[in-house]
Each structure stands twice: as C-alpha cells, then as structure tokens.
Amino acid sequence: MSDRYARQVLFYGIGNKGQKILMEKTAVLVGCGALGCTSANLLVRSGIKCLKIVDRDYIEESNLQRQSLFDEEDISKNLPKAVAAQKKLQKVNSHIQIEAIVADINPSNIETILENANVVIDGTDNFETRFLINDYCVKEEIPWIYGACIGSIGLTMNIVPPKTPCLRCVLDTIPPFGTTETCDTAGIIAPIASMIASIQAAEALKILTGNYDALSKGLLKIDLWRNEIKKLHTDDIREKSDCITCKQHHFEFLSKDRYSMTTSLCGRNAVQILHPNGSKLDLAKLALRLEQVGKVSFNSFLLRLNLDKYELTVFPDGRLIITGTNDAAVAKGLYAKYIGM
Amino acid sequence: MNYLDNAATTFPKPEIVYKTMDTFYRTLGANPGRSGHKMAVAAEKEIEDTRAVVTKLFGIKNSNRFVFTFNATDAINMGIKGLLKSDDHAITTYLEHNAVSRALNGLERRNIITVTKVRNSQDGFIDPDDIKNAITSKTRLIVMAHAPNVLGTIQPIKEIGRIARENNIIFFIDAAQTAGVCEIDVNKDFVDMLAFTGHKGPLGPTGTGGLYVGERANLEPWREGGTGFEPASLSQPEELPYKLESGTPNTVGIAGLRAGVEYILSKGIQAIRKHEQKLIDKLINALKDDRRFILYGTTDISRKVGILSLNIKGFKPAEVGAILDQSFDIAVRPGLHCAPFAHQVLGTFPDGTVRISPGFFNTEADIDQLITALNRIANEKI
C-alpha cells in the first residue's frame, strides 16, 4: 500500500485490513454545503473507492464563509456545487472515483443515486429530504449518518437499520413547512459545521470498515457558543416505539404520500410547491424572519419575498410559488433555504 | 370545492356517466370487433351506438366519417398531419391552443409547410376578411378554434367556412370549448373537419374525443395498426372510420361519452348554454365597472361561451388561483392556458390570466361566493 494512507493504516482502528476494506467502499453524500464540503474532503483523503456527491445548487458568495471546498473562481464560473467539489477533490486524490450528480434527490431518482451506497452521509438542509433518505435506507438497510447545523448548534446521529432507531423513531413528524429556521434566516458559524461533519466522517469510517461497536450511539447535540455537549440516549426508543418507518415499513416519503408536490405552473417561469399535509403559517411571523433576506410584503392571503432573481410567494398553507425559474430543483432549493422544509 | 374550471374539464359528470361506465366495464369489457363472441359484439355495438349519438351533436350525416380519438389534441394532430403535405400553406389565428399551434409549428419548423397567423380584434374575434386576405395559391387549410379557450369568444365559423369552401380550402375547427354547449352543424357551417374532446362540454370521461372528416378531406393515417378489419392485408384499410382508428379503443370511456352526450341531448344544448350564460353574465356584471379588475374579451354573453378571463390589479394570476384554492376552496385556472400567443396579443404574457369557467352543475350561489372571494382579495392589495 502506498504512503498516502500510511498514517491512517498505523491507527489501531483501521490497520491494513481496514484500509483494504475501505478501498472497496462507496459513500454517497447528499448535499454539498457546509457539512458536505468537510465530510467529502475527509472521506476522499481516507481513500474510499468511490464518493458520489449529490447537490442541486450553484455556489453563491454567501457560501464561501463556511463551505470549504469552494472559492471565488468557482462562483465566476457559475459552477454547480457538486461539480466544483468533484473537480477540487479529484486533484486531492486522483486514484479514487468521484462522481458529481447535479440533481434534486427525490422519490423518483433516489434508488438510482443510492443503490450502491455502503453509507449515506446527510449534508442536506431540509427535513423532507432526510425523511426520504431515512425511508430508502431503512428499506434497503443502508447505514446513514444524520447531520444538521444552525447558528452555533449541530446535531448528528448514526442510523444503522435495522439495529438502531431510525430518524422517524426520534422525530415522528416532519415539522410543518415554513416553521423551521434555516441558515439563511438564522445564520450559522462555520466551526459547528466542520465539527459535525468531522464526526460524520469519523462515523462513516467506522461503518465502512465494519467497526460497528465503535459507533457513537444516540443523538449528539453540540452548541459551540454555549459550550454544551449533550447526548440523547436513544437505546430503547426503537423497542418502545411502533415506528411507522422501521417497524411498520410504511415508507411514506418514498411512496410520495407525504412528499411535496412540485408543479411547473402554466405560465412562464413559475413553480409551485405544495405539501400534501399542509401547514398553518403565521405570515407576520414569517415576515419578521425574512426581513433580513429581502424585501417582504404580506397581507392575510400571502407573503411576497423579493430576491434578486426570484420572487417567492408564500401562502398560509405552506404552498409556495417561485417566480423566476422553471426548474423544480431550483425552486425546492429556494424553499429549503428561505422558508424551511 | 366550488369547481369553476370546466373549460379544463367538466366536473362533476352526470350520475348516469359514472353508472354507465361502471356497468359497462363489469359486464361488457371485451375487446370490440376482434373476437366475434357475444361480449365483443356487444362492446362493438356500444361504440357504434356512441358514434351514432355523438354525430348528432354536430349534424354529421355519415357516421362513418366520424373517428374516435383519445382527446382533441389527438384529433387535431390526426387532422393536421394527415392532411398537409409538403409546400402547403395553412392559416390559423393567434388565439389557438397549443394543440393547434404546436402541431402546425412542428411542420413549419421542419420546412414542410408555411403558416400565416391572423390577428383578432381587441375583444377577441377574428374578422373573416382577414382570413380571406391571408389566402395564397398554396393555402390548403384554415384551422381555428370555434371558441378559443382563453376568451371563449365564439368565432364566425360559418362566414369563414364559406370563404374556405369558395376557395377550395379545407376548413378545420377545434370545437374543444363548444362541443356540447353550442349548436354546430358541419354542413350548414361549411366545416370540413372538426375536432372535439369528450371530457369537456360532452360531459364524458377523459381519454375520449373525436374527429369528423368531411368528404372533401382525405387524410393519411398517422397511427396505423390493428383495426379488426381486413387483418390479412399489410396496408391500413382505406375505409373510414377504420383507416384512422387503429388499436384497441377506449371502450369504457366511449360508453361514458355516450351517456354524457345523451344527457346533454335530453337537457337540450340551448338550455345548457343559457345556464352557463346566466352564470357568466352575473359574474361580468359584478366586476365590469370595478376598476380593480381587468376583464378580457367581449362582455357580450351572446357572443361567448361560459368562460371569463380576468386579472386583479396588483396580483399575479397564479397568486389569485392559489388564494382562491386554499382560502376559499374555489377551483379556477390561472396562467397561460396552453395558449401563449393569445396572451401575447392580449398583453397578459407571461403571467396570463385567471380563467373562470362555470359549468352546467354550477349554481348562482357558486358565482356569488366567487364574487365575494374576488372582492376580498382585491381589498387586500399589497
């Protein structure tokens, strides 16, 4: 084995044997933002066989503060995040396979994207996609590593079906659309993302080398501003719960029953996103949250948010019309970024 | 839900339509005209009975010249692509649905035909003289909506049909918005081809429709295959309707279509039209002098079907549609209605309009509720 991985091989938890196993494994990273940049970098350097990077977004200036794989040149070239990450990381390690997938992962394409995954890393910015990943991974028994950050707070949890509780054991329902803060409304500091992503990468190494006993158990919550580290023990949750996903095997997101409906509206350049369960939004509250983001106006029927290229119209049931694009992926990205889904 | 989107598809259907389809599929669901057994013969009879009933809607004398299709788009494609040949010229209007515009544009883009689009008046009508002036020595086809789907304005088809006849040109009307709600007589109106869909005015199910092919129109089939007729021959039969009706038909849908058309005929087309006129008139009167609203097309209800396109100042049509849906439980159709050129000439491109289209089962109370909702939205201008 080359020198490249010598220090990792020396480490007792990996060794020659672990490294060989690692070099046969495929990881899929869903979402290449602040979390994804760090975990992708660490996994590529560790010498796995293949990393697939899935992301629907293009790089923006406000990403550079925390998304460590991107630079100003990428923005001037208007590169999709997945492509920019692939190019950069391929320079770091030309011996492994790195695949960029510029797509919105959804119930129709998730099987094609995740089918050969030995582990799935969560770098997404929304609950809907996480619940979808959870459905697929529970169904196919693929381990996945939940990760999320906002402000100075980060969360992560390993989900190893069917052994551990799944995301829905811990969080039964998806928060209603438009009720969760996002990094684009509440902000984020970069170190928490690096920290959570580093933990995700370490957990991925354990999973990929078969070191399941070493895995972190439970839901880990870190607040770097208040200097708090908490662990929610989830050991008996699965036993106690009658989880709709991992116990009853109803995959509501994969089957699209609870997945948002995206419709290109009859009219140019507008997409509507409708959540099947609806929401009950307080438009005044939402307006307050979005004040920093762009020009906001609202009445009792709707709220308009004017961004540079897009106009977002939010309705009290969580329905959103995005004017300025025909692309469902772009529309969903904007929803996740500014409204929260 | 207060359903006011009947120009997209009528809802609900008469109870008899649901019942007929249910009974048909449970008792006669065989493949018609293929096997010769009792059930197949009965299914075939159902189709022929429907053919006989539907042709009454349009004054078609020879029912063999009426071909079942899956919708109006299917019929329009069959008509346009089956008729036009290299170097032909076609005349159409700016008010057309994409079913017509795109079918013509496809041939034009491949340099097979040339197309002239005739402009309409501000209130939504085509002047027959403009059609006349667009005729060239190569003009083979005039194709246009009887009542375009954005404005619902009833076009002077008889005058245009006469011009077509005098110039030996095929006159093809898209009756998607008028079949079942307007009196049409292909002979008196000089119509050579007529396309319609079953799920709108005829009150039938989706997946049904038809094309009338008059004696003057000779179409090449664009869909060839099994017809249950002359199976040993490799070539498509020349005889109508088989020539254009390949593949297993939508028998259950056709059974439903018959029930819908029989229902209309029992109520009377004029009674249906009067009802829709009354509703749209109520809406027009409530809004026409209110400067917060913009109404498109003529407000003379004797010259339009039950369609009104409008906008509320300060709101995008998609916003109005979404508010009506979620806050008032009213279904309408915002946007371009698959007719981008119509909106360009109206000045409503690219956002379009809010199209309101009551049907036979709507009541005055439905319109009152809509008027209240529109006023409440307009009051909250932001």
Tens of pLDDT along A228-237?
999 988 888 8
Confidence check: pLDDT of A268 > 70? no
Query: B42: buried, middle or exposed (CB in 10 Å: 19+, 13-18, 0-12)?
Result: middle
Alpha-carbon gap, residue A96 to B77, rounded angstroms:
52
3-state class (DSSP) for residue B156: coil
Identify any residues that bridge with A49 across adjacent strands, giving them in sequence order.
none
A77 pLDDT band, cuts 50/70/90, is very high
Contact check, Cβ <8 Å, B382/A304: yes
- Contact at CB, A319 and B349, closer than 8 angstroms: no
- Tell me how far CA of residue B5 lies from CA of A162, A330, B64, B362, in angstroms: 48, 29, 33, 11
Domain that holds residue A320: 261-339
Contact A236, A223 (CB under 8 A): no
Give the whole-angstrom CA distance, residue A336 versus residue A184.
Answer: 9
Are residues A182 and A50 both part of a single domain?
yes
Strands B293-296, B209-213: pairing is: unpaired
Task: Summarize the confidence of residues B24-40 as an average pLDDT.
Answer: 87
- Residue A56 Cα, gap to closest chain B Cα (Å): 25
Return d(Cα A260, Cα A338) in angstroms, integer: 16
Residues shown for chain A: 341
Q: Which of the residues A137, A149, A166, A183 is marked catalytic?
A: A183
Q: Is the pLDDT of residue A1 over 60?
A: no
A136 within 8 A of A114, measured Cβ to Cβ: yes
Q: Do A321 and B377 touch (CB under 8 A)?
A: no
User: Do the Cβ atoms of B336 and A267 come within 8 Å?
Assistant: yes
For A318, the closest chain B residue by CA position comes to B326
Residues A81 and A189 occupy one common structural domain: yes
Is B333 within 8 Å of chain A by CB?
Answer: yes
Is residue A166 flagged as an active site residue?
Answer: no
Contact B350 A267 (CB under 8 A): yes
**Judged by CB atoms within 8 Å, which residues 291-310 of A form the interface with B?**
297-302, 304
Q: What distance in Å separates residue A297's CA from the closest CA in chain B?
A: 7
A297, A316, A323: residue with CB nearest B382: A297
pLDDT tens, B257-306?
999 999 999 999 999 999 999 999 999 999 999 999 999 999 999 999 99
Mean pLDDT of B14-35: 92
| A246 occurs within a structural domain | no
Any B CB within 8 A of A272 CB: yes
Mean pLDDT, residues B119-146:
97
| List of residues 6+ apart from B128 with CB closer than 8 A | B156, B159, B160, B163
Lowest mean per-residue pLDDT among A58-72, A263-277, B34-48, B210-224: A263-277
* Mean pLDDT value of segment B23-28: 94
pLDDT for res A224: 97
A313 and B322 within 8 Å at the Cβ level: the answer is yes
Do A176 and A214 lie in a common domain? yes
Give the integer Cα–Cα distance in Å for A318 and B141.
Answer: 49
Q: How far apart are CA A56 and CA A49, in angstroms?
A: 23
Residue A249 located in a structural domain:
no
A45 domain-assigned: yes
User: What is B15-266's CATH number, 3.30.9.10, 3.30.300.30, 3.30.930.10, 3.40.640.10?
Assistant: 3.40.640.10
Q: Using a CB-CB distance cutoff of 8 angstroms, which residues of chain A are in contact with residue B335?
A: 265-267
Cβ-nearest to A313 among B319, B334, B338: B319
Mutation target among A264, A302, A315, A326 for the B interface, most CBs of B within 10 A: A302
Does the ipTM surpass 0.85?
no
Residue ranges per structural domain of chain B = 2-10+269-379, 15-266
Q: Which B positions 299-318 lie with beta carbon below 8 A of chain A? A: 316-318
pLDDT digits (tens, 9 = 90+) for B137-159: 999 999 999 999 999 999 999 99
Tell me the whole-structure pTM to 2 decimals: 0.89
DSSP string covering B173-234: EE-TTTTTTS---TTTTT-SEEEEETTSTT---TT-EEEEE-TT--PPPSS----SSSTT-S
Please give, rounded to a whole number of angstroms, the shortest distance from the CA of B333 to a CA of chain A: 9
Tens digits of residue pLDDT in B80-122:
999 999 999 999 999 999 999 999 999 999 999 999 999 999 9
Which of A207, A240, A273 is a domain's end point? Answer: A240
The verdict on A129 and A214 lying in the same domain is: yes
Per-residue pLDDT tens over the stretch B215-266: 999 999 988 888 776 777 788 888 999 999 999 999 999 999 999 999 999 9
User: A250 lies in a domain?
Assistant: no
Query: Residue A306: what pLDDT?
Result: 94
Instruction: Work out the end-to-end distance of chain A between its first and last CA atoms, rounded to an integer number of angstroms.
Output: 45
Among the residue ranges A103-117, A161-175, B210-224, B286-300, the one predicted with the least confidence is A161-175
Looking at the structure of chain A, the number of domains it has is 2
Give me the residue label for tokens 């008010």. B95
The CATH class for the domain spanning B2-10+269-379 reads: alpha beta
A245 lies in some domain: no
What is the interface size between A and B, counted as CB pairs within 8 Å?
60
The letter for the amino acid at B312 is: I
B337–A313 C-beta distance less than 8 A: no
pLDDT class for A267, splitting at 50, 70, 90?
low
Nearest by CB to residue B323, choosing from A265, A269, A301, is A301
Residue A223 CB neighbour total at 10 angstroms: 14
Residues of A in contact with B326 (CB under 8 A): 315-317, 319
Chain B residues closer than 8 Å to A265 by CB: 318, 334-335
- 3-state SS class at B293: strand
**Among A265, A271, A281, the residue to mutate for chain B (most B Cβ within 10 A):** A265
Partners of B319 on chain A (C-beta within 8 Å) are: 302, 313, 321
User: Which residues of chain A have a CB within 8 Å of the CB of B316?
Assistant: 313, 321, 323
> Which among A270, A301, A304 is the nearest to B377, CB-wise?
A301
Residue A36: CB partners within 8 Å, gap ≥ 6? A29, A30, A53, A55, A67, A81, A85, A121, A123, A197
Q: What is the CATH number of the domain that holds A58?
A: 3.40.50.720
B336–A319: do the CB atoms touch at under 8 Å?
no
Contact B323 A317 (CB under 8 A): no
Contacts of B317 in chain A (CB under 8 A): 267
User: Is residue A80 assigned to a domain?
Assistant: yes
Q: Do B318 and A319 touch (CB under 8 A)?
A: no
pLDDT of residue A105: 95
In 3D space, the residue among A24, A35, A28, A29 whose CA is nearest the CA of residue A68 turns out to be A35
Is A79 among the domain residues?
A: yes
Question: What are the C-alpha distances in Å from B374 to residues B72, B276, B296?
Answer: 32, 19, 16
Residue A266: its pLDDT value, please? Answer: 67
